[in-house]
Structures are given as C-alpha cells and as structure tokens.
Structure 1
Amino acid sequence: MRRRQMHMSRDAQDHLREALQQLRAELKAPTEFPAHVLQAAEDAVDEVQLPHKDATHLPLFTIDPPTSKDLDQAMHLERRPGGGYRVHYAIADVAAFVKPGGPLDAEAHDRIETLYFPDLKVPLHPPSISEGPASLLPNQVVPALLWQHDLDADGNVIDSTVSRARVRSLAKLNYAGVQQDIEAGTAEESVALLREIGTLREAVEAARGGVSVNLPDQEVTLKDGLFRLSYVAALPVEGWNEQISLMTGMAAAQIMLESGTGILRTQKEQADQNVVRRVHDIAKLLGIEWKPGVPYATLVNSLNPADQKHMAFLSEAIAMLLKAEYTTFRDHQIPEHTGHAAIAAPYAYCTAPLRRLIDRYTGELCVAACAGQDPPPWVLDALYCLPCDMARGKGKLADRRAVDLVEAAVLGNRVDEVFGGTVINTDAEDGKPKEGTVHLAEPAVMGRITSGAKLELGACVQAKLIRADPLFSGRNKILFRTV
C-alpha cells in the first residue's frame, strides 16, 4: 500500500508551525545531522565508485510528486520479442555511499526511516547524498541496483534478476502529468506501457487474493481563519506504479528464499477471530455490505476510498487486521511462515533504500544471491538485529499523530458543539469499556470518545466536542464525550 500523503497550504503550515515543531519534539525527531555525519556524507560522495556494468543506454524515467528529490526508483518498460514484457527497475544504491559501521551507517540505524510531516520531512540520510548523487535524478550517472523482470503476455513474472550497474535517468515525471499523457495518448511507449503492465499486474494480484488499498491524500487549507480538510483520490497511475514496486518486492523475497538467507515482511493469514468479528461489525455499522463467505481481500478491492465511510472502514480495518512483522532466516533454515497475507505471496521491502533502513540490506542479499556469492559479512552481522531496529521506526506514528493534529485544527473552533456519530471501536478488551473511537458523519473525522456508561460498538451517539487542541501534549488532541 502506498503511503498516504498530507498536503498543507502555506498559510495552514504557518498557522500550525508551533504545533508541528512540538510534535517533532515529542517524537524526538532529529531535524539536523551532526557535523561528523555531514562530513562523512561529503567524503562518501568524493569516494564513491561506479559499477563496471554500464546500463546508461536505458532511457529510464522516474514518477514522483513534483517536489521530491530523494528518488529511489526509475524504470524502463518495453515489449519482449515474441510476446510479453520486460521491466528494468533501477533502485538507488545507498550501500555505495554508506560504509558499514561508519558515521552514516550509525546515523541511519538511529533514524531507521524518513519521517514525513505536513510541512517538512526528517530524512534518513543527509540530503547531500539522498537528494544528490545517490538519488535517481535526471541526467546524472549514478550507481544503482538494476532489476530486470521478464513477464509473459498476461503479466506473470517468468524471471527476475538484479545486479549493480551505472544508470542515468532521462526524465523526472509526476503522477498527474503521466496520467494526463497516458489518457491523451501522447505518452511515450515506455510510459504508456505502465498502464498496460500495471493493469495486468492488478489482475494477477486479484487472482491470487492480494489486497491493494490506495487511500486518498489529505489536503489541508486555511481560509477566513478556518481550517478545511478535504480528500484527493489517488490516480490510477499511482496504483500501476505501486504494482511495479510490489512485483520487485515479491521477486526479492523469492530470490532470498531460494538462496536460504533473507529478511521478509510477513503477515499471518488469519487474524484473531475476535478481531475479525469486530472488523465485520465495523463494516456493518458503516453501512458496508459484507456478504457471508466474501474474503476480506475481495471486499477491500471493491471499496472506493473516496467514499468517506469506506475510507473510515479501511483506515480502521487496516490498523486492526494488517499487522505485519519481519522474519529473518539464514543457512537455509526457512521459517514455517513466509507469506504476507495482504499481498498473498512472500514479500520483502527493497525498493526505498533512501527512505527506509532495511531496504539497503535486502538489496545486498539479492545482488549477492543473483551473482552466486555469499552475502557481505556486514549484512549477515546485522540480519537478526534488523527486526528490532525497524520496530523503533516512527514513520507510522508520525503519520498518525500529524493527522490527529490537523483534525484538531479543523475542529478547533467547534469545541462544545454536539455531533452525531457512530462508535466504531471500544476499549472494552483493554478494561476500558467507557472509552473508544467515534466516527463523525460530518466532518469525516475519527476521534477518541468517553462516556459515563459502557460504550456499545455500533451505537449511534451524540458526541460533544470537549477538546480540539493541536498543541495538546497528549495523544488525544481530539476528545468527545457522549451527551
């Protein structure tokens, strides 16, 4: 699932600057790099060596938001003689710049991942690397891990391999522009093939029971002193682009399983039955028909994230059901469970090394396996520590707390107002039957609610807004109480 983004107008950013700075302080998000790390980054740029394999003849392109500079992936798509497709997918070679055990490596292990806030990001690596010579920006020759996927005419992968190569992207494209060009028929063939291949891969995903959820982006504006929160549906091209990344993650998992050493992103096939029943109840309460025998994946793929009730269900259900973990193995000691239930296949993170620590390691494992070599010692030494390292990441928490902050600002002028809502979750299992989550019909906001009596799942309640304070230091910046 692609990361849901929040876009905030400049006026809104200025108004919430103090609250956003406070949020970063609460999360202990390091907004500056130490001097010795910045110096190490400069040295790494001077010392980097390009791979011997030259793939600069490939006319690669990237697709990212217009302002992005830390570009992890570039691609070239073509038809194969005799039928089918070939996908070249270049991934930034962060290991070419980060020396194991050095200052950059230590800092990355402290940060774990890039943190995104509505007004800025806190990067994993210094921008002098991540937004410069390690990034797949256009018209510069850079080191990369170059994947080659061969697909049949139905979009099934028949072969995947990866090796180091020097590459050069020729174009930095954005989602809206690519969507427009594809629909107008003016896109170059390699770009136009993204729709053809992406659509086939979506069909392959549905056939195997996979789930793709592209939640809409949030857009926050400030007008006449009032905050407004609206939703912008994801473009189809974002889903097609995500399919290329998913395909690569599945190929990486398979390569590591065959080599006998790796680290997977796993998710059990079946959640706790009490949780499953609760998710079914939430769907019913929100007016979403979930017929008996219909798999969760089938239901999710039928929903429209632009619908406020559907989005509320997806947000809550994903948080409750789709809890994944990392599974490591080596020396052909393959674990019993290797699958990822939402993807319906083994899967590994490997396509965002500029923004996520673990991807640097999975990339190295795959390159070594495809070359018939043993993994580098520094990868093996860190293998069993990586799950604990990744558990310290704050990316999802930062996203969730930023949403809470913005929704508090949206409701800030409506304290003491009474709203109609539905209780879509309770804390009864945690011994707090009088606390839970309420979903408002309008505006489409979810918040904490307390009651003088036991909250009943699915109850329609009148909820008085007690607090909506972006600067509140606790987690519940929004708080309702039943009346």
Structure 2
Amino acid sequence: MTGMAAADLMLRAKVGILRTMPPADEQAIARFRRQAKALGVPWEEGVPYGEFLRTLERTDGQHLALIYAATSLFRGAGYTPFDGSTPEQVEQAAVAAAYAHVTAPLRRLVDRFGLVICESVANGREVPGWVREALPTLPELMKASDTIAGKVERGSADAVEAAILSDKVGQTFAAVVVEQRDKGKLQVQLVDLPVVATCQGQAELGSTVQVTVVAADIAARTVTFELAKG
C-alpha cells in the first residue's frame, strides 16, 4: 500500500521512478500452479496470481516455499524513471497497480531517491535537482545490485535444501513434476518438503512421481534426484 501511494504521488507530479513489471507468461503461471498443487495450497481457478500471492502466510512453511518460487513469475521487472511526463508502462503486474520502492532505504538505493521525491511532492516543494539528475542512472545501478542479491538468495536457498537432504541420500519421496527441461531432466517439487530440485528421467508435467535422492552436497549447494525404479 505504501509503494502504491508513493507511485500515485510520483505520477501526479510527473516525476519519479516506478518499479514496473509486465504480466507473467502463461507457461510460468502454469508451472507455479503445479507447485501450489504439489504443496497442497489451494488456488481457485479464475483467481489472478497477484491475489493468490496475497493470501500466502510467511509463517507457514509450505506458503513460504511458494512465495520464494513466485520469483520465477517476476521476470522482466525493472525500474522506470520519468521526469516531465508519465511513462507508457506504469504497472507492477504482481500487485496489479503502479508501484514504487520507498520502504527499505537502508538496504536499497532507489528507495532513498523515491522518498525524497515523495516528501517534496507531499509538501508542495520542487524535487531537488540532484534527484532529477540521478533518476536516469538508477535502473542500471539497481540491476547490478539486484543481480548480486539474487545470486546470494538463490545460493542460500540451495544450501538449505542440500542441508535438509544431506542425511537422506538413498531415500525416496513423492514429488510433482513442475517443469520439463532438455536432456531428460525434470524439475520437481517435493510433496512433504519445501524443496525444488532437478531430477533425471521422463514424466508428464503435473504428474506425481517417486524420486530418490542421489546426492546432496552442502558445500556445492546442489541436490540431485532420479526417478525411483519400479
């Protein structure tokens, strides 16, 4: 709500920087729907994924796994600066509204500029020149920092998954096939654990299969499965 209010201030003043994202493609949504089914989290037909995401609770382990998996829907997200006129693309598809980052100035650079813009506009003052001058440079700066943050986040999740399964090598689990990849590889979501991993074998999308943990290397942050025999 704070981000939407900030975006509204910027758009009315015709100066600011929005967090924009096009709608997720149907293939990505279908994959995410299969993951929700695998984790036993109901997602009614006809409910937009943005509304569905807002029903998830971070205190629930299965929901938290889905919140993390939802990042696969957020491809194409970026920052759109403007000054003097409003941009053609203003919507952040995950929230189905115009949105701006302003709530985390201690860890995200762009928020500091957004807050100065909003404070100026709310008080009827001109946006400082140094902010206007910086706006065109912010998308590339944020892209570089987001790339680093994404690698750290993915690496952390991979390490936790490997740790969870490190003493379960050789064991078999029920899983749902959420994606088919090249060279006989599948991506599967375990039913009883919030783990997504690559699996060797062939199976139909959305089907429930039995998979065996072949390897779990915490140092390398990797987990390998194969379809159970028989």
Task: Tell me whether the two structures share a fold, i.e. TM-score over 0.5.
Answer: yes
Amino acid at match of 2:196: M
**Residue 462 of structure 1 is aligned with which of 201, 206, 210?**
210
1:477 aligns with 2:230: no
Measure how far apart 1:260 and its partner are.
1.3
Which position in structure 2 is the counterpart of 1:266?
20
* CA shift digits 1:260-312 (9 cap, x unpaired): 111011233x3222323333344445444444323334434445555555444
Alpha-carbon distance in 2 for matches of 1:340, 1:411: 36
What is the letter of the counterpart of residue 176 of structure 2? T
Alignment of 1:65-464 (within 5 A): 246-247=1-2, 249-268=3-22, 270-303=23-56, 308-316=61-69, 318-323=70-75, 324-332=77-85, 334-393=86-145, 394-427=148-181, 432=182, 434-451=184-201, 454-464=202-212
1:405 CA displacement: 0.8
Q: Which amino acid in 2 is paired with 1:296?
A: Y
Partner of 1:9: none
> Quick one: which amino acid aligns to residue 141 of structure 2?
D
Please say if residues 38 and 175 of structure 2, whose CA atoms lie closer than 8 Å, have aligned partners that are also in contact.
no
Query: How large is the Cα RMSD of the aligned pairs?
Result: 2.6
Determine the C-alpha separation between the residues in 2 that align with 1:287 and 1:406: 21
Distance of aligned partners of 1:288 and 1:411 in 2 relative to their CA distance in 1, 3 Å threshold? closer
Match for 1:381: what amino acid? E
Give, in angstroms, the shift of residue 329 of structure 1. Answer: 0.8
**Structure 1 CA distance for aligned equivalents of residues 137 and 167 of structure 2:** 47
Q: Report how far residue 461 of structure 1 moved.
A: 2.4
Q: 1:407 to 1:384 in 2, by over 3 A?
A: same
Q: Classify 1:299/1:331 alpha carbon distance in 2 versus 1 (closer, same or farther; 3 Å).
A: closer
Contact kept, 8 Å, 2:180 with 2:186, in 1: the verdict is: yes
Any conservation in 2 of the 1:447–1:480 contact (CA below 8 Å)? yes
Matched letter for residue 481 of structure 1 = E
- Give me the whole-angstrom Cα distance separating, in 2, the residues matched to 1:403 and 1:276: 21
d(CA) in 1 for partners of 2:40, 2:105: 40
Q: CA deviation at 1:456?
A: 2.5
Percent of residue pairs identical: 36
Residues 471 and 459 (structure 1), Cα distance of their counterparts in 2 relative to 1, 3 Å cut: same
Q: Which amino acid aligns with 2:45?
A: P
Compared with structure 1, are the counterparts of its residues 384 and 280 closer, same or farther at alpha carbon in structure 2 (3 Å cutoff)?
same
Distance 1:433 1:291, change over 3 A: farther
Cα deviation, residue 356, structure 1: 0.9
CA shift, 1:250, in A, is 2.1
Deviation of 1:348 after TM superposition, in Å, equals 1.0
Letter in 2 for 1:295: P
Report the CA distance between 1:433 and its aligned residue: 5.4
Say whether the 8 Å CA contact 1:423–1:439 is kept in structure 2. yes
Question: How much has 1:259 moved relative to structure 2?
Answer: 1.5
The verdict on how the C-alpha distance between 1:276 and 1:261 changes in structure 2, with shifts beyond 3 A counting, is same
Q: Deviation of residue 402 (structure 1)?
A: 0.9
* Structure with max Cα Rg: 1
> Any idea what SS the aligned residue of 2:113 has?
helix
State whether residues 433 and 455 of structure 1, in contact with CA within 8 Å, keep that contact through their aligned partners in structure 2: no
- The runs of at least 4 aligned residues of structure 1 exceeding 6 Å deviation read none
Q: Following the alignment from structure 1 to structure 2, what is the Cα–Cα distance between the partners of residues 280 and 433?
A: 24
Q: Any conservation in 2 of the 1:435–1:455 contact (CA below 8 Å)?
A: no
Q: Aligned to 1:265, what secondary structure does the other structure show?
A: strand
Larger RCO (alpha carbons 8 Å, 6+ apart): 2
Q: Is the 8 A contact 1:252 1:347 kept in 2?
A: yes
